[in-house]
Structure 1
Amino acid sequence: MKRLLALGAVLVLAVSGCSGKKDSGGDGGQSGDAVALLTDAKKTVDEAASVHIVLAGRDLPDNAQTLASGDGVATHAPAFKGKLTVRAGGSPIDAQVVAVGSKVYAKLPFTPSFIELPPSQLAGLGAPDPAILLDPAKGLTSVLPTLKDPKIKGETRQGSKVLTEVTGSVQGKSLQGIFPKAPADQDFPSSFKIDKDAKQLVSATITGPFYDGATSSYDVTLDKYGEKVEITKP
């Protein structure tokens, strides 16, 4: 009987210890870890001399002028050099784009050389001035500190990297710097994959009503952090 009582006491202590550990974790701890990851990822982007960015839209409405895709290098000059594709009336229009000195220059399929585009024309197409993609206050990283209900979803492997996925909702007003047509009062479910060791944002997916009458998604990947790049007026 004494042995049974002793065994019961050990079991009670063990269960109490386990339940205590569980209670000390929970969503609060997970949220804190997620915020720390997002903060580190923003700091790395904000301090990088340049970042290669690839953007692709999904489920875009055919009857709207939309930003379909982009691929280029952005710096904190601020500047950008690469390609943007917009869709107007369902037809894609590819443009070589250089943004530098607060001006945007584009070479369109029907123009023999680069022409200057006013920011209002880009905004009408749903595209930002690409030079601000790395702007800490308006660019891609501006959405990270304001992510609502951030949580760590889990980890995935990408080659030799182990990426931690953080989910939450981005407020529309935080997106308007990079997606001018995003409604300010809407929330956009989002996920961010972060290389915890390098403290780098590797990819992001943002979904929501970017355009009237449709729920669309944008997938963004970031790599080649800190490469030396010189971007000049074409």
Structure 2
Amino acid sequence: MRIPVKLAAALLAALCATGLAACTSDGDNTPGPTPPSPAQRLAAAKAKVDEAPSVHLELDSSGVPKDASGVTAGDGWGAHPPAFKGTLKGVFSGIPADVEIISTGGEVWAKLPLFPGMNKIDPKAFGVPDPATLFSTDRGLSSLLTATQSPVEGEQVRNGSEVLTTIKGTIPGANVVDLFLIGDRNGSFQATFGLTDADELRQVALTGPFFGSGTSSTYTVTLDQYGTPVTIEKP
């Protein structure tokens, strides 16, 4: 028996009204969840850095003046509470060197050129910050994420097997100088952060007047191996 067209339409409408059939329309414009803003993603990335027991760090630089003193590269491990062990490369008190360094409990030891073994030092005497400060939750590297002004999402870039979303913004000079102990406090720095899909911070690139007004240099920090067991002890 054939059901008249009008009767079929009426039955379908009744089923939709009573919820007995799944009735959808090509014009269904129900909004999906709102994606997080760039600022929210930076805040999430900060939380992941701060919560990690340990993080592997690589530091590189470009555009550093030939006569500049300070750190130009490095490789090591950071931990929470703030601690660091690794090697820093640069010019210290006028001497180019690769310096093994350990920082924990607010004390710093270094293996310096011409001096045997690890020796306790005051890093400020060499014009460099305590590297453990990079892993302070309130004034370390992660604090730059939430200090970033007018963050905007940029292009996606490949980093090995990962695809990172870039977020760009501006950081006041005072925030950078307080952390790295170099730079133009009255200037500003352009920041580019690379985040994984899970909002894990992978890269930080800072460009600006690290060596005074009118200069432009770039420091790039790469973070990976979150949570790998690491022991950092006094020598």
Where in structure 1 are there 5+ consecutive unaligned residues?
1-16, 18-28
- Write the deviation string for residues 87-125 of structure 1: whole angstroms up to 9, x where unpaired: 258752110000012111000221111111114214x2x
**Range that drifts further, 217-226 or 58-67:** 58-67
Q: CA deviation at 1:128?
A: 1.3
The counterpart of 1:102, out of the listed 106, 119, 124, is 106
Kindly indicate whether the alpha-carbon contact (under 8 Å) linking 1:143 and 1:174 is maintained by their aligned counterparts in 2.
Answer: yes
Kindly indicate whether the alpha-carbon contact (under 8 Å) linking 1:63 and 1:89 is maintained by their aligned counterparts in 2.
Answer: no
The structure whose residues are more often helix, as a share, is 1
Where in structure 2 are there 5+ consecutive unaligned residues?
1-26, 28-33
The SS at the match of 1:61 is: coil
Q: Does 2:51 align with 1:50?
A: no
- Report the CA distance shift for 1:177/1:76 in structure 2 as closer, same or farther (over 3 A): farther
Aligned to 2:139: 138
Q: Does 2:165 align with 1:160?
A: no
**C-alpha separation in 2, matches of 1:62 and 1:147:** 29
Give the structure with higher Rg (CA). 2
The letter for the 2-side match of 1:41 is: A
Q: Does 2:93 align with 1:61?
A: no
The within-5 A match list for 1:186-197 is 186-197=187-198
**C-alpha separation in 1, matches of 2:116 and 2:161:** 44
**Range that drifts further, 154-163 or 62-71:** 154-163
The SS at the match of 1:67 is: strand
**C-alpha separation in 1, matches of 2:183 and 2:159:** 31
**C-alpha separation in 1, matches of 2:62 and 2:70:** 11
The SS at the match of 1:145 is: helix
TM-score of the pair, normalised by structure 1:
0.80
Aligned to 1:169: 170
**C-alpha separation in 1, matches of 2:130 and 2:65:** 22
Aligned to 2:215: 214
CA RMSD across the alignment? 2.2
The SS at the match of 1:121 is: helix
**Number of equivalent positions:** 203
- Write the deviation string for residues 6-44 of structure 1: whole angstroms up to 9, x where unpaired: xxxxxxxxxxx9xxxxxxxxxxx99x6211110111000
Aligned to 1:75: 79
The SS at the match of 1:128 is: coil
**C-alpha separation in 2, matches of 1:120 and 1:157:** 37
Kindly indicate whether the alpha-carbon contact (under 8 Å) linking 2:81 and 2:136 is maintained by their aligned counterparts in 1.
Answer: no
Q: Does 2:88 align with 1:84?
A: yes
The letter for the 1-side match of 2:141 is: L
